[in-house]
Amino acid sequence: MSIVIPVWRDSVALGELLATLPDRDLVEVIVAHAGADATLDEVRAAFGGIRWADCAVGRGVQLNRGAALARGRWILFLHADSRLPAAWRDEIDAVEREGLAVAGCFRFQLDSRAPAARLIERGVAWRVRWLRLPYGDQALFVRRDVFEALGGFRPYPVMEDVDLVRRLGRRGRLWVSAVPVTVSPRRWERDGWLRRSAANLGLLTLFLCGVSPHRLARWYYRQPEWRQDARSDDRAGRRAVRWRAGPLDDTKPADEASYPSAGPTCRGHQADAIPSGRFKQRGDRC
């Protein structure tokens, strides 16, 4: 099993996430880092056994870079501000043992008591159940051979996760776990619950109508609140945070947030132009 974490100027969340993951002897952890970030030095020193990969800015590009280093039969793509459930490995082992699917995800849950959070969770559950479109923040996991056959993520600045999920639909069934992955509500709390959700829904609608992801990114990152992501996350990364001690790894660093552009692709990993599809619905758990 390999876990790939894309990161961009989010060292605090990354350190907190790494502290929750299992022993490196049991799970391979790869952090795909974009851009120079001195705040990652402390994280690298605190956590041994992590594989670090430098890459250009762009979540799809970073995910591909991390996946290219993965050695596990399954690859789990995890955002830095998400937390896996205690039974996450059992869920994937069940999928593997029973041959249930080629990919899967976990139920979406926000780490907030706000009533708006429950409404958003219901909306996500509806989207996953009826549109078969989980997002990347639901901890997507994919069989490595299937991921490689599809050519991985396309190097889109936005909607790279939706594009991959639609293409995976041509390969087999999606397993939707009943156990939740817990996601930080920080972006909804900062931008406004309604405004952030409306922007995300608009982005998905336009993408499904055929609007270019690069054009969508120009609109999305023109919004003043989201252009502040880099600055706010950079400030957060400078906060003093203590992690458990560990030896320094001799590879490189990483981070997650919202990405202003896709940047150049990483060497040696190109995305294939394979048509989109839908997942089979019969017997899926939601």
Q: Quick one: what percent of the chain has pLDDT higher than 70? A: 78
Per-residue confidence (pLDDT) for residue 223, from 0 to 100:
58
**Range 129-140 average pLDDT:** 96
Give per-residue pLDDT as tens, 259-270: 343 333 343 333
Radius of gyration of the chain (CA): 18
Which is higher by pLDDT, 16 or 98?
16
Q: pLDDT tier at 25 (50, 70, 90 boundaries)? A: confident
The alpha carbon torsion through 129, 62, 16, 18 (nearest 10 deg) reads 100
CATH class of residue range 2-237: alpha beta
Q: Quick one: what percent of the chain has pLDDT higher than 90? A: 64
Q: pLDDT tier at 112 (50, 70, 90 boundaries)? A: very high
**Where in the chain are the domains?**
2-237
**Range 144-155 average pLDDT:** 96
Give per-residue pLDDT as tens, 184-201: 999 999 999 999 999 999
Is this prediction's pTM over 0.85?
Answer: no
Torsional sign, CA 79, 80, 83, 86: positive
Edge to edge, the sheet with strand 2-7 lists 51-55, 28-34, 2-7, 74-77, 141-143, 103-110, 174-183, 82-83
